[in-house]
Structure 1
Amino acid sequence: MPAISEKGIAMPESPIRKLVPYAEKAYAAKKTVYHLNIGQPDIKTPHAAMEAVTMHSLDVLAYTRSDGSEGYRNKIASYYQKNTIEVTSKDIIVTTGGSEALLFAMGCIADQGDEIIIPEPFYANYNGFATASGVTVVPVQSKIENNFALPPISEFEQLITPKTKAILICNPGNPTGYLYTKDEINQLADLVKKHDLFIVADEVYREFVYDGHQHYSIMAKNGLDQHAIMIDSVSKRYSMCGARIGCLVSKNKEVMATAMKFAQARLSPPTFAQIAAEAALLTPDSYFTEVNQEYVSRRNTLIKGLKSIKGVRVGIPNGAFYCVAELPVDNAEEFAKWLLESYDYKNETIMVAPAQGFYSTPNTGLNQIRIAYVLNEDSLRKSVEILRHALEEYNK
């Protein structure tokens, strides 16, 4: 029998999606499942985006430019300029989701065996993108005790080797919801300039910032033109996960020329999705004001409920729509399977994402879960009660 590649064997499963077969068993048993495992907002996609696809006048569904349609890139640039990020359409390549932008970024800056330092826990698919790109993830651990704040810069510096090519952050963070301060961004900027590294910032949750805090983009930082690469996406911003439209942004001309070769190799981003994404840019600011208010209410409901459960500890998110909770169990993945396969409370149960998959360090986060508060408040309250009763029964 022909052999599977070592890279394929090493490719990690998604902690967000790997428990789907267990959820299907719960469905088959006629249980209601509250999905806290995946960041799929239930907020409606802006009407203008849906209407643009419905009302299109195309006769041929043709390729677009490899870097994305010029009209769309111009409008993205205008959006960024409105948010104090001075870029032009030439600094933007439209990608098939933020995922492809991350793959392009790794392909541009790192060779086989090169290293990228990432604060953990981090978006689980970074492990997969790194494996696919032959890149070694070097984790620096943030801790729930201090709300997953940026680890001391000295810890980053100790990890830098001749193989180090970049530092990768997610801001605001998935899975923690942590929002980096201006001082933390400045510290990282000084470090990458000192060691001549790239800084790659996944900023797909930039619109979701709470409690009067402000998002600081690496693209707005002076002196980082040759170092900064930003990853962005419409998936969460406009509740358009299925559109699969993102972008890679950098003022480094060599990076962009290299990324363009990767873009040409996959031909072009999807046409209809670009039409929808371009129309979504017309969404008024009031949309985000209302969405943020909704997420703050959901966050407060969830965090209050989690804190009321004996033995549960939780980080407080200031952005995105996730939190990491530490449970009084030895193995959160086994508990998550049990929730779906063997447990229900009034014929209802919950699906969560075991947090171990959001770490690169082995045997870390074993008793943690990520929760996405993308459900309405009533569903979140029910989910908390299910978790409360489930922990009591599981630990008997």
Structure 2
Amino acid sequence: MPKISNKGQQMPESPIRKLVPYAEIAKKKGVKVYHLNIGQPDIKTPEVALQAVKNAAIEVLEYSHSAGFESYRTKLAASYRSYGLPVETQDIIITTGGSEALLFAIGSTMDAGDEIIIPEPFYANYNGFATASGVKVVPVISTLEEGFALPPIAAFEQLITPKTKAILICNPGNPTGYLYSQEEIQQLAAIVKKHDLFLIADEVYREFIYDADVQHHSVLNVPGIEENAIMIDSVSKRYSMCGARIGCLVSKNKDVMATAMKFAQARLSPPTYAQIASEAALDTPQSYFEDVIAEYKGRRDLLVEGLQNIPGVKVAVPKGAFYCIAQLPVTNADEFAQWLLESYDFHGETVMVAPAAGFYSTPGVGLNEVRIAYVLKKEDLQRAIAILEAALKTYNAR
């Protein structure tokens, strides 16, 4: 029998999706499953985006430019500038989701065997993207006790080797909801400048910030690292358009953009209808975002308070995005998450969570943690919290 590649065998399973078969079996049994495992918003997609697709008078569904529609990139650049980011049309390549933008960034800046430093826990697919590119993830651990704040810069410098090519952050963070301060971004800027590294920032949750005393600080706004900074963005969460699969790679570094364009040409072009929807979505009124932020803030507050009231559960308060890491009174969150779907229901209902060990690359870390996405309406979140509390009592009393 032909042998599967070593790379394929090393590809990690998604902690977000690997338990889906158990959820499907539970649903076939008639159990209602509350999905806290995946960042799929239930917020309505802006009508302007949906209407643009419905009204598109297309007779031939053609390729677009490999960098995406020029009209979309120009309009997107203007949108960034309205938020104070110094972006021009030529600084943008439209990608098939933020995932492809990350793959282009890694492929354009790293070779097989190179290293990338990432504060963990981090978005689980970073592990997969690195594995697919033959790149080694070097983690620097942030902790729940410290609110997942940026580790000391000394911890980064100890990890830098001749193989180190970049530092990657998610800001605000998935899965932690942590928002980097201006001082922390400046510290990262100083270290990449000092060691001639790239600073890749996944900023897809930029608008999702919930407290008046904090704000988002983009790597594109730091003077002096124009050649180092690469931003990843996406329409998935901002406009509740996960299925569109449209993202972008943004950088002032002309060599990075020229190299990324070769990867873009190799995959031909991003999807046409989704670009039409995404370009139209830029006309979404500000009131839409104000309503969405208010809704998510209410959900965050409800979830954090509910989790803090469950005996033995610890949670860091997220400042942005719509996730949190919760430490549970169990020894193995993977087993508990599977048990929730396979063997438990509370009056015909259960919850699905994402075991957090998959958001780390350090073995043995996060074994009793889960990531929870607060993307359900408040009534469902309230119900899910009650089910989780009852489930933990039952699980630990076995």
TM-score normalized with structure 1 length: 1.00
Measured after TM superposition, the shift of residue 285 of structure 1 is 1.3
Query: Deviations 1:200-229 (Å, cap 9, x if unpaired)?
Result: 000000010111121000001111110000
Q: Which residue of the partner structure matches residue 57 of structure 1?
A: 57
Alignment root-mean-square deviation, CA? 0.4
Q: Distance in 2 between matches of 1:307 and 1:196?
A: 43
The AA in structure 1 aligned to 2:144 is: I
Q: Which residue of the partner structure matches residue 322 of structure 1?
A: 323
Q: Distance in 1 between matches of 2:34 and 2:2?
A: 41
Q: Distance in 1 between matches of 2:78 and 2:210?
A: 24
Q: Distance in 1 between matches of 2:229 and 2:16?
A: 29
Query: Secondary structure at 2:350's aligned position in 1?
Result: strand
Q: Which residue of the partner structure matches residue 215 of structure 2?
A: 214
**Correspondence 1:16 to 2:13:** no
Q: Which residue of the partner structure matches residue 337 of structure 1?
A: 338
Q: Which residue of the partner structure matches residue 176 of structure 1?
A: 176
Query: Deviations 1:324-383 (Å, cap 9, x if unpaired)?
Result: 000000000100000001001111000000000000000110000000000011101110
Q: Which residue of the partner structure matches residue 45 of structure 2?
A: 45
Number of paired residues?
396
Measured after TM superposition, the shift of residue 58 of structure 1 is 1.2
Query: Deviations 1:95-140 (Å, cap 9, x if unpaired)?
Result: 0000000000000000010000000000000000000000000000
Measured after TM superposition, the shift of residue 317 of structure 1 is 0.4
Aligned residue runs from structure 1 range 94-133, under 5 A: 94-133=94-133
Measured after TM superposition, the shift of residue 28 of structure 1 is 1.3
Q: Which residue of the partner structure matches residue 147 of structure 1?
A: 147
Q: Distance in 1 between matches of 2:122 and 2:287?
A: 30
Measured after TM superposition, the shift of residue 261 of structure 1 is 0.3
Instruction: State the identity %.
Output: 68
Query: Secondary structure at 2:260's aligned position in 1?
Result: helix
Q: Distance in 2 between matches of 1:288 and 1:126?
A: 28
Q: Which residue of the partner structure matches residue 190 of structure 2?
A: 190
Query: Secondary structure at 2:361's aligned position in 1?
Result: coil
The AA in structure 2 aligned to 1:159 is: L
Q: Distance in 2 between matches of 1:69 and 1:280?
A: 14
Structure 1 ranges of 4+ moved more than 2 A:
none
Measured after TM superposition, the shift of residue 29 of structure 1 is 1.2
Query: Deviations 1:254-287 (Å, cap 9, x if unpaired)?
Result: 0000000000000000000000000000011111
Q: Distance in 2 between matches of 1:184 and 1:275?
A: 37
Q: Which residue of the partner structure matches residue 289 of structure 1?
A: 290
Q: Which residue of the partner structure matches residue 245 of structure 1?
A: 246
**Correspondence 1:272 to 2:273:** yes
Q: Distance in 2 between matches of 1:368 and 1:132?
A: 26
Q: Distance in 2 between matches of 1:290 and 1:79?
A: 20
Q: Distance in 1 between matches of 2:230 and 2:86?
A: 14
Q: Bigger CA drift: 230-239 or 283-292?
A: 283-292
Q: Which residue of the partner structure matches residue 203 of structure 1?
A: 203
The AA in structure 2 aligned to 1:262 is: F
Q: Which residue of the partner structure matches residue 360 of structure 1?
A: 361
Q: Distance in 2 between matches of 1:294 and 1:247?
A: 26
Measured after TM superposition, the shift of residue 384 of structure 1 is 0.5
Q: Which residue of the partner structure matches residue 134 of structure 1?
A: 134
Q: Distance in 2 between matches of 1:87 and 1:380?
A: 38
Q: Distance in 1 between matches of 2:166 and 2:79?
A: 27
The AA in structure 2 aligned to 1:154 is: A
Query: Deviations 1:27-61 (Å, cap 9, x if unpaired)?
Result: 01100100000000000000000000000011100
The AA in structure 2 aligned to 1:8 is: G
Q: Distance in 1 between matches of 2:225 and 2:284?
A: 30
The AA in structure 1 aligned to 2:288 is: Y
Query: Secondary structure at 1:334's aligned position in 2?
Result: helix
Q: Which residue of the partner structure matches residue 77 of structure 2?
A: 77
Q: Distance in 2 between matches of 1:289 and 1:359?
A: 33
The AA in structure 2 aligned to 1:113 is: G
Q: Distance in 1 between matches of 2:187 and 2:158?
A: 15
Q: Which residue of the partner structure matches residue 388 of structure 2?
A: 387
Measured after TM superposition, the shift of residue 141 of structure 1 is 0.3
Query: Secondary structure at 1:159's aligned position in 2?
Result: coil
Q: Distance in 2 between matches of 1:263 and 1:292?
A: 33
Gaps of 5+ in 2: none
The AA in structure 2 aligned to 1:332 is: A
